[in-house]
A = this chain, B = another copy of it.
Amino acid sequence: MSGIAKVAELAGVSKSTASRALTGAGYVSESTRARVIAAAATIGYVPSTSAVSLATGRTRTIGVVMPYVNRWFFAEVLEGIQEALLEHGLDLTLYDAKPGSAGRRRIFEDFLARKRFDGLIAVGLEPADDELERMRAIDRPLVTVVGEDPSTSVVAIDDDHAVRRATEHLIALGHDSIVFLGGGAGSNWAHVDRRRLDGYLEAMADADLGDHVRHVPSDVSLPGGYAAAVDLLGGARRTPTAIVGVCDEVAIGAIIASRRLGIRVPTDLSVVGIDDHEYAEMFALTTLEQVPRSQGLAAVELLLAHIADPDHAPRQVRLQARLVMRSSTAPPATHETAAVGDMRVQRRRFADE
């Protein structure tokens, strides 16, 4: 006897009723469904999901496309998505679409077209125009984490606002020589990094520090921030009194570089980041907190709303990052005490010689 036949017999229903109860395709009363599920559990029967998919037109799978899984933000979002999907009994199919890779081309050309998912979450993907077109052509609900396409539901922090607050925090402490570190390496700008730079430029302009702005590009990673900061802080050119990192990893790289060069944080240099990365506490980094795991959870809930109701209007969820004060920021040394102040003036003079 087939598995479904056994379940039907045990529950005292027809095979087709048992099948409807287990696959969700077609009506069955709640009490009957409960009896069938109990019968299936008794004999350990699990319906073939391929058959379920054909019957319901649903794959019970959500596709997730992201450019990296080995970076803090992406890994945390992924964990949030997974947690929510497990809760809903849905599978997660991962598409790791590293920029410029052969795998990415294959994902956009072949994998997505197979539509082996009921909906798609794209995380920080920065799709090219043709990639965006392909994602739209799939005709499955799409939610993006990080992004600004008004035709799609988006979950993100308000990046511009977060960096504005970080910069204003430094200005309020008395800094005017503030560098924005990170992003734009090899003129390779992610939209999110560009938006963060904009927040810095706006805050500087608003404080009449427009002619003090300085952007130092770097890879958006801890080693990237470290390397750029070694150049910036170890060079002959006048060094800044404060750094806004495009993200915590870059900011922490700058702190590590400072320690190596004997520059004291925050006495000689204030550093602020964006993220509240898992290492932020260890480096006493003042930062703007975002919770990528929650963004993953929110993206799943939004996507399920779109799947349940194809006419659900796109929603733009913009979260406000929260300032977390630690001890990597302080007033610039010149303001602290006269003695320290003199030292710095002296240092400047040497540097200019």
Residues of A within 8 A of B (CB): 44, 46, 48-51, 53-54, 59, 61, 69-70, 72, 75-76, 78-79, 82-83, 86-87, 89, 91-96, 98, 102-103, 106-107, 110-111, 113-116, 222-223, 226, 253, 256, 259, 278-279, 281-282
Q: Are B223 and A279 in contact (CB under 8 A)?
A: yes
Interface of A is mostly: helix
A82 touches B54 (CB 8 A): no
Do residues A86 and B70 form an inter-chain contact, with CB atoms below 8 A? no
Measured in the bound complex, the distance between the Cα atoms of B49 and A111 in whole Å is 11
The answer to whether A103 touches B91, judged by C-beta atoms less than 8 angstroms apart, is: no
Partner of A111, one of B76, B86, B103: B86
Contacts of A94 in B (CB 8 A): 78, 82, 92-94
In the docked arrangement, what's the CA distance between A111 and B82, Å? 12
Instruction: Chain B residues near A222: list those with CB within 8 A.
Output: 279, 282
A42 to chain B, nearest CB (A): 14
Closest to A53 in B: B50
Closest to A253 in B: B282
* Complex interface: chain B residues within 8 A of A282 (CB): 222-223, 226, 253, 256
Scoring A72, A98, A103 by chain B CB atoms within 10 A of each residue's CB, the highest score goes to A103
Contact residue among B91, B106, B259 (Cβ-Cβ distance under 8 Å from A116):
B91
Can you list 30 A-B pairs with a CB-CB distance of less than 8 A?
A44-B113, A46-B113, A46-B114, A48-B54, A49-B114, A50-B53, A50-B54, A50-B59, A53-B53, A61-B116, A69-B69, A69-B78, A75-B75, A78-B96, A82-B94, A82-B96, A82-B103, A83-B103, A86-B103, A86-B106, A86-B107, A87-B103, A91-B111, A92-B93, A92-B95, A92-B96, A94-B94, A222-B279, A222-B282, A253-B282
A102 to B113, CA, bound (A): 33
Partner of A93, one of B61, B89, B98: B61
How distant is the Cα of A336 from the Cα of B86 in the complex, in angstroms? 57
Q: Which residues of B contact A115 (CB under 8 A)?
A: 46, 49
